[in-house]
Amino acid sequence: MNYRILGRTGVRVSPLCLGAMMFGQWGNPDPADSIKIIHRALDAGINFIDTADIYSRGESEEIVGKALADGRRDKVILATKFHASMGEDPNQQGNSRRWIFQEVEASLRRLRTDWIDLYQVHRPSADTDIEETLGALSDLVTQGKVRYVGSSTFPASQIVEAQWTARERRLTRFVCEQPPYSLLVRGVEADILPTCQRHGMGVIPWSPLAGGWLSGKWRKGSAAPSTPRAARMPARYDLSQPANQRKLEAADALGQLADSAGMSLVHLAIAFVIRHPAVTSAIIGPRTMEQLESQLGAAELMLDSAVLDRIDEIVTPGTNIHPADAGWDNPALAPAARRR
């Protein structure tokens, strides 16, 4: 596997990152099976694992911690995230210093490790100054509990603001951004990816299979597959919505393109993401061993110009077919923020 540098850190990571969102009650309820999937990914050359505190309310981190407890921890670049609510207390969430200091200890405990390689802000927070967040993260780096820090699903303006704040206040800067990016969700191409390139940040996109839409199972004339993710987020899968009908049309056309090119749609989708010049590593999120095996070979696939041109005809570059797939709702567009 050809390893890539994460931003300007000098740390080398595999072009496929194992996402752990499906390990636990959100996806695969069998911890032993999930651990086997993790070990298989590591044996295949993947050295990068991404999870989050919110995934199955900490269970995903616990499973990853158990999988690495057999002596593999030192060889893995381990990433996790904080921000989402982890309890009924209103302060058990967000990007404040108070919550960061509390939650990093919980993540370290669940992961069975003394340090986190990459600690990421899962979403921006309109009610918290970025200097507050970066100051707390900088202290964690100084303490040795965290090696690097990053953002996830930040708009371009806030990526720039975070870089400026880190420089002006001499704080630890975000070394990477984790945005949604796939054949169906290309909005980040317009601004976020070039912004990351200008600031020397790595990019580790989530959901290169568009939440399963590019698994090959979403085809015209077939029954819509039933998945745990579709049950949790019906707005992104309900075919009665016009935007999801457009996604189905595009997924079917992309499936036909993959068939004609002699490759699986899964490989086409992942290869498309990791071949963008700004992208460091694509996060794959298998729920089963079969899904992992179907994704592993994508890192070696090259897409020719004819295939890329046809993709651009199916989905316009720099656009999201369904706005809900952007992963973040801009608070400036909420009714309360727009009323004069």
Alpha-carbon span 226 to 229, nearest angstrom: 9
Closest CA to 208 of 260, 266, 252: 266
* CA 71 to chain CA centroid, nearest Å: 26
Active site residue 181: no
Query: Of residues 55, 148, 181, 237, which has the active-site annotation?
Result: 55
Alpha-helix residue ranges (DSSP H) falling in the chain: 31-43, 59-68, 97-111, 130-143, 156-169, 192-198, 228-232, 242-261, 265-274, 289-296, 305-314, 335-338
Q: How far apart are the first and last CA of the chain?
A: 55
Alpha-carbon span 241 to 299, nearest angstrom: 34
Tokens of 217: 């199972």
Secondary-structure breakdown of the chain: helix, strand, coil percentages, each rounded to the nearest 5: 45, 15, 40
Positions marked active-site:
55
